[in-house]
Amino acid sequence: MTFRTKLGAVAVILSTGFAGAAMAQDVGKAVEARQSLMQLYAHYLGTLGGMAKGDMDYDAAKAQAAADSLLAMMTADQSNMWPQGSDTEALGDKTAALPAIWTTYPAIADKGKAAAEAAAALASAAGTDLASLQAAMGGVGASCGACHKDFRQKR
């Protein structure tokens, strides 16, 4: 799949998912799925961050694999993971997803698209050399933080 096609898919996924057409589904499972996906983002970003910081030796093949995997996770189908009524007001401690996700929609879709673009840039740089990996890391980290700042409850 090309970069452009993937970004198109992200936009579609987010617009159908966050629009929140009421669907009969298990809200708890949807929350678990999106939290698990976020954990995978953190897993792959952690590997890349370890190399970027020098805690781990830079290995071009491993860096490329981690960055490709991160991009795949960040462009995976989330259309059933964000149903209406799965925010902190409805579910309390079970989620950190703020009601603003749904009340300001599609603002979150823009954050998701920016994050996928940053991940695509990282995937084009990570396997080149350490300096390229380091230069592309900040954009992804910032894009995670930008979405969390507006839409994730602080713990």
Footprint of ligand HEC (CB under 6 A): 31, 34-35, 38-39, 41-42, 45, 95-97, 108, 111-112, 115, 140, 143-144, 147-148, 151-152
CB nearer to ligand HEC: give 31 or 136.
Answer: 31
Query: Residue 28: what residue type?
Result: G
Length of the chain: 155
**Cβ atoms < 10 Å from Cβ of 3:** 15
CB nearer to ligand HEC: give 5 or 43.
Answer: 43
| 137 closest CA partner among 70, 72, 85, 77 | 70
Do residues 77 and 15 touch, judged by C-beta distance below 8 A?
A: no
Nearest distance from residue 150's CB to ligand HEC, in Å? 8
Residues 6+ apart with CB under 8 A from 35: 95
Nearest distance from residue 40's CB to ligand HEC, in Å? 9
Nearest distance from residue 110's CB to ligand HEC, in Å? 9
CB nearer to ligand HEC: give 59 or 106.
Answer: 106
**Is the preceding peptide bond at 99 cis, omega within 30 degrees of 0?**
no
Nearest distance from residue 130's CB to ligand HEC, in Å? 20
CB nearer to ligand HEC: give 6 or 34.
Answer: 34
